[in-house]
Amino acid sequence: MGSVPMDTPSQPHTSETPFGADARVLRPRRAAPADTVRATRAEVNLAALRHNFHVLSKHSGTTALWPVLKADAYGHGAPAVARTLERAGAKGFCVALVEEAIELREAGIRVPILVMGGYYGNHHDEVIHHGLAPVVYEAGQLEAFARAVRFLGKEPLDVHVKIDTGMARLGVRPSELATFADDLVSRSELRAFGAMTHFASADAASTDHAQDQVRRFEESLATLRQLGVKPAVRHAANSAAVLRGVGLFDVARPGIAIFGVAPRTSDGVVLSDELKPVFRVRSEVIALRDVKSGEGAGYGHLWQATRPSRVATIAIGYADGFHRALTGKASVLVRGKRAPLVGAVSMDMAMVDVTDIDGITLHDEVVVLGTQEGPLGKDTITADELGGWSGQITWEILCGISRRVPRFYREP
């Protein structure tokens, strides 16, 4: 198994702007393998990542894939993930924030990058400088981008119009399209290259609501064409929609499925059995002790031994994304066998009952997410399981692995 070097953290970009001098876009630094002291790490399987991309490409057909890499690629490390997927054939990427997009550009990504969050602060010039594609849905955004284009003396900026077809979060409502379109057409500095919408319930038991949103989106596109706005790229589908064949226009925006988590419908149907998990999070046993029957362990002695027990301390806690809500509910893998957490998960450590783990020693690997094969067997703890134990959705589990846990990139 090979290892791909970690990305070098990028530096803030500073520029003179029409909105204020010396504006800076800052990004938090991710822990790097070279800086690692403790053995806790997240391993990202790049072969599995490519496999998932090809599975989704098969489902999307002629619809191009622009994977969603917001929130540091769902915790996996956006620059390395983007480079891998760009080489695998991704035609573009989607992020939520300007700073996320700049990080990808500075990592060498050249395909289109769509900034979906709609908040640009005073950094409209940064969007133009880095060749990003902004999503717009308010008149104020049109004015700010047009002003930045004029100030910088640039060619017209390609924008993507977001239409609210039923999510009720962001987007131009169909009833307001005429006014918005008139404003957009009147600005020679802008060009409506794309149009998009966002599904509210593509993973519902029935696709009726998603199909209704598709109908409203198509009606809105027809309205825009009549008003002189003719986007070349239309997109709507997320992971669930791609796997169900709903809303496949010119581009699709899969997120969670790229990372090997198959969406489930609200009635429990798993939409794919072809995807492979990309993340594996592991730590080590850093202490072992014997606990007598009746003795407690951890803050508040939330756990008390009902038999003479062997307790292992592991070097991962809620500051790493191993949530306190897992206390008394979760298991981890040691030597290929499940062992239950005991006591409260603390900030930097957790404790495990390893009484039934034969041969346990200091520095044994402990897997909290992913697969482990050892002398006592082979098992997998999924992100879905962690979510069920902690009362979170799978998205939160992946995004919650903190930046202080270094990412190691693997080519098995």
> How far, in Å, are 6, 199, 299, 301 from residue 239 at the CA level?
27, 10, 41, 43
Both tokens of 389, joined, read 């134990």
CA distance 54 to 143: 40
Q: Specify whether the CB–CB gap between 351 and 312 falls below 8 A.
A: yes
Single out the residue of 184, 64, 48, 62 nearest to residue 112, CA to CA. 64
Q: Specify whether the CB–CB gap between 271 and 278 falls below 8 A.
A: no
H or E element at residue 340: strand 337-342
Enter the DSSP assignment of 325. G
177-185 vs 208-226: helix crossing angle, rounded to 10? 40
CA distance 41 to 44: 10
- Kindly name the residue from 70, 120, 162, 337 that is annotated as catalytic: 70
Both tokens of 52, joined, read 């998932």
Both tokens of 295, joined, read 């003795």
Residue 301: count other Cβ atoms within 10 Å of its Cβ. Answer: 11
CA 401 to chain centre: 11
Residue 294, sorted as left (phi over 0), alpha (psi -120 to 50) or beta, turns out to be left
Q: Specify whether the CB–CB gap between 69 and 115 falls below 8 A.
A: no
Q: Is 70 a catalytic residue?
A: yes
Listed in order, strand segments (DSSP E) in 29-127 are: 41-45, 64-65, 93-95, 113-115
Both tokens of 217, joined, read 């989106």
CA distance 90 to 79: 14
> How far, in Å, are 39, 267, 312 from residue 363 at the CA level?
9, 42, 10
- Kindly name the residue from 119, 154, 230, 299 that is annotated as catalytic: 299
Q: Is 299 a catalytic residue?
A: yes
CA distance 140 to 117: 15
Active site residues: 70, 299
